[in-house]
Amino acid sequence: MGLTDIEAKQTKLTAVDRSHVLICAGAACVASGAMEMEALMKAKISELGLTCEVSVFDTGCVGTCDLGPVVVVYPEGTFYVKVKPKDAEEIVTEHLLKGRVVERLLSRTPEEHTVPTIAEHPFFAKQQRIALRNLGVINPEDIQEYVALGGYSALAKALTMTQDEVIQMVLDSGLRGRGGAGFPTGRKWAFAKEVEADQKYVIINGDEGDPGAFMDRSILEGDPHSVIEGLAIAAYCIGATQGYAYVRAEYPLAIKRLQIAIDQAREFGLLGAGIFDKLDFDIEIRKGAGAFVCGEETALMHSIEGLRGEPRPKPPFPAVSGLWGKPTIINNVETLASVPVIVEHGPDWYSAFGTETSKGTKVFALAGNINNTGLIEVPFGTTLRDVVFEIGGGIPRGKAFKAAQTGGPSGGCIPASMLDISLDYESLQKAGSIVGSGGLIIMDEDTCMVDVARFFLEFTVDESCGQCTPCREGVKRMLEILTRITEGKGELADISKLEMLAGGISKTSLCQLGITAPNPVQSTLRYFRDEYIAHVVDKQCPAKVCRALIQYDIVPEHCTGCTLCAKHCPTNAIHGELKGVHTIDQEACIKCGECLARCRTDAVIKV
């Protein structure tokens, strides 16, 4: 499922059109004007009478979010980036009408080499797109395009097999839950199948709440039928007739496209009664209110039942007693999107990717201080170094890599000394982090790791359901200590208190949100303890981030007396004559950084 496969798919899909134009409708591209650009492009195509020769539609997230809006023209695969609405007419008149590639809109490498096609872009070179196989390839609102590429053939195949045979296939593939826990998917299904009940349920967990993560939403927006097909296979395996898709209401496009896909599947006889004369199964969407804790399976089920989204103790596990007390399996979007491929290609094909214990591929949302941000999918076992410097294109402005936060707010920070770590469940857990749902935030040399820990705990405190004391009170106490440290009021004893609290919270919290909440603190203390010491002993922030521990000064030799800093200082803390050396009144300075941003001669510095 690499780029060669994508090109082959597009050749098949464009057989009836001279050109097939895909416009990325991921969140970043939409925010940058993709929909306005699409409307202008369609209007110009209509004006030139090209409607019968050229198809234009918006698709799922292509992945290169920093380059949006993105336009890909097939069959050539021409890869246009940062396309503005004003560029739409030129693409139509030059490329679609006259066959001339618009060179200025092509992507470029840091060395300023043009990248004519999507297949040649280094961002995709080391990816293996399985869960993301159809994103940026098909029209997600047209079931026939999904079917044309083999969609629902895996469901048909599964229904010719016994339930145990399909479950064994998923077990043999090594597929583990991609929502964070990494529990073997086939084992979960087997548990639910063996429970006798008059009703069983299957649920799509689309409540992706990690800051910076957007893989589940993107799959629902760009390839909803793959998730529906995966859920239908799961339903067959455990004997369920009803499914639910739990998606947060903040993702209206995902909800819209999933509902379109459900309606189309019903129309085609792929949902409802008598699917392939073998299965009765249907799906309803349930909207979540955006609570982070509802990503936890028992809290999610409470929310579907109309109750407050709070976790409950386990056991009993949902496979035994779940939704309304009935056996229920909950699978993450990415997990379900991988199921049809496993059934279609076989477990041996799938398990050939990854490591001995972490099979297949993982989708990561690559963000932070990185040149190429976006959605990537790589085999487990790919190193962090390859992701950062090969796929991600390295750190902007020549800065040094400092750390990577994996697994969202409940994950840990991996230092530069571990750049060659294998990205898999076991390696990351050993390093004090987690795979999580796939958030991957890159940090450069200007990042304060104490402040990073404080930031993630601030999020966790806000999102705690408050049900259990260790999470509700303990994490708040940790945040208070971190805040004191970043304000220059910390003491050495605070570090011991953080370690004590972290250990207690992780052992006694009710759900995974509380159990993993201390991870950012524990990992930063493990790998960046010197920064904590600098904050509490030297009262310094080595990265010069914590406002209470820095000050702004003016280097006399560099100051030209332009007065820009003084003019924009909100507290009139900067004094000096025109063309004379300026100074900063430290008592009046509020450390807003406006002077540093305005200075053109590098005279203002942080110390």
**Residues β-bridged to residue 333:** none
What is the model's pLDDT at position 70? 95
Asked whether the bond before 316 is cis by omega within 30 degrees of 0, the reply is yes
What is the model's pLDDT at position 298? 93
Torsion (CA) 376, 287, 155, 425 in degrees, nearest 10? 40
Dihedral sign, CA of 336, 337, 341, 347?
A: negative
With H, G, I as helix, E, B as strand and everything else as coil, classify residue 419.
coil
Q: Which residues, in sequence order, are CB contacts of 191 under 8 Å at separation 6+?
A: 317, 319, 320
What is the model's pLDDT at position 151? 96
What is the model's pLDDT at position 150? 94
What is the model's pLDDT at position 594? 95
- Overall average pLDDT of the 479-504 stretch: 96
Q: How confident is the model at residue 143 (pLDDT cuts 50, 70, 90)?
A: very high
- In CATH, what class is 449-538? mainly alpha
- Tell me the CATH number for domain 551-606: 3.30.70.20
Asked if pLDDT for residue 57 goes beyond 90, the answer is no
Q: How confident is the model at residue 262 (pLDDT cuts 50, 70, 90)?
A: very high
Range with the lowest mean pLDDT among 110-114, 214-218, 465-469, 509-513?
110-114
How far apart are the C-alpha atoms of 68 and 448, rounded to whole Å? Answer: 29
Asked if pLDDT for residue 263 goes beyond 80, the answer is yes
- Overall average pLDDT of the 326-331 stretch: 97
What is the model's pLDDT at position 345? 97
- Tell me the CATH number for domain 361-444: 3.10.20.600
Asked if pLDDT for residue 239 goes beyond 90, the answer is yes
- Overall average pLDDT of the 558-565 stretch: 96
279 neighbors 200 (Cβ within 8 angstroms): no
Dihedral sign, CA of 285, 290, 291, 293?
A: positive
Using alpha carbons only, what angle is made at residue 275 by residues 274 and 276, rounded to the nearest 5 degrees? 105
Asked if pLDDT for residue 16 goes beyond 60, the answer is no
- Tell me the CATH number for domain 143-349: 3.40.50.11540
Q: Residue 174 to residues 32, 191, 559: CA-CA distances in angstroms?
A: 39, 16, 63
Asked if pLDDT for residue 483 goes beyond 80, the answer is yes
* CB under 8 A, 24+ apart: contacts of 188-191: 188/319, 188/329, 188/331, 189/234, 189/237, 189/238, 189/329, 191/317, 191/319, 191/320
Q: What is the pLDDT of residues 389-419, one digit of tens each?
A: 999 999 999 999 999 999 888 899 999 999 9
Using alpha carbons only, what angle is made at residue 358 by residues 355 and 364, rounded to the nearest 5 degrees? 105
Phi, then psi, of 236 in degrees rounded to 5: -60, -40
What is the model's pLDDT at position 26? 84
What is the model's pLDDT at position 291? 85
What is the model's pLDDT at position 592? 93
Asked if pLDDT for residue 4 goes beyond 90, the answer is no
What is the model's pLDDT at position 10? 52
- Overall average pLDDT of the 101-129 stretch: 89
Could you tell me the residue ranges of all domains in the chain? 3-121, 143-349, 361-444, 449-538, 551-606
What is the model's pLDDT at position 8? 57
Q: Is 346 left (phi over 0), alpha (psi -120 to 50) or beta?
A: left
| Token pair listed for 338 | 């991988």
Q: How confident is the model at residue 111 (pLDDT cuts 50, 70, 90)?
A: confident
Supply the Cα-derived Rg of the chain in whole angstroms.
26
Range with the lowest mean pLDDT among 42-51, 177-186, 198-207, 438-447?
177-186
Mean pLDDT score across all residues of the chain: 93
**Chain CA centroid to CA 599, Å:** 36
Q: pLDDT: is 502 or 212 the higher one?
A: 502
183: which DSSP letter? -
How far apart are the C-alpha atoms of 253 and 56, rounded to whole Å? Answer: 18
- Overall average pLDDT of the 177-195 stretch: 92
Asked if pLDDT for residue 228 goes beyond 90, the answer is yes
Asked if pLDDT for residue 204 goes beyond 90, the answer is yes
- Tell me the CATH number for domain 3-121: 3.40.30.10
Asked if pLDDT for residue 101 goes beyond 60, the answer is yes
Q: List the alpha helices (DSSP H) in 356-433.
A: 384-385, 425-430
What is the model's pLDDT at position 479? 97
| Token pair listed for 125 | 């070179």
Q: pLDDT: is 239 or 111 the higher one?
A: 239
Torsion (CA) 179, 182, 185, 188 in degrees, nearest 10? -100
